[in-house]
Amino acid sequence: MSEKEWPLWEVFIRSKQGLDHKHCGSLHAPDAKMAIQMARDVYTRRNEGVSIWVVPSAAIAASDPDDHESFVEPMADKIYRHPTFYELPDGLEHM
């Protein structure tokens, strides 16, 4: 038997109509069609979803965790970017 590993796929499930597909995990599968069927058996066997997307993990470009200092930290003290300094007019609710 060939020892070649199947490629990895990221699985996204939409739990019901109108909601977004959410990342729920990954699996190994030989191709996209099989990946969807396997996702059906692995991730929706308890009726978790109405729609499945799969994406080759290799196709995802990700930010580098080592960049944390320059990439993420500078956002931490920019409180003025949050819309909390507005005076809301009276009678405006649910903001």
Residues in contact with another protein by CB under 8 A are 1-2, 6, 27-30, 33-34, 37-38, 41-42, 45
What's the closest the beta carbon of residue 55 comes to another protein, in angstroms?
16
What's the closest the beta carbon of residue 60 comes to another protein, in angstroms?
19
Alpha helices in the chain, H assignment, sequence order: 32-43, 68-71
Residue 38 neighbours by CB distance under 10 Å: 19
Closer CB to another protein, residue 6 or residue 71? 6
Sequence-ordered strand ranges (E) for the chain: 8-14, 21-28, 51-56
The H or E element that residue 56 is part of is strand 51-56
Give the whole-angstrom CA distance, residue 14 versus residue 17.
Answer: 7
Closer CB to another protein, residue 2 or residue 63? 2
DSSP letter for 61, please. Answer: -
Closer CB to another protein, residue 25 or residue 58? 25
What's the closest the beta carbon of residue 42 comes to another protein, in angstroms?
5
Closer CB to another protein, residue 37 or residue 51? 37
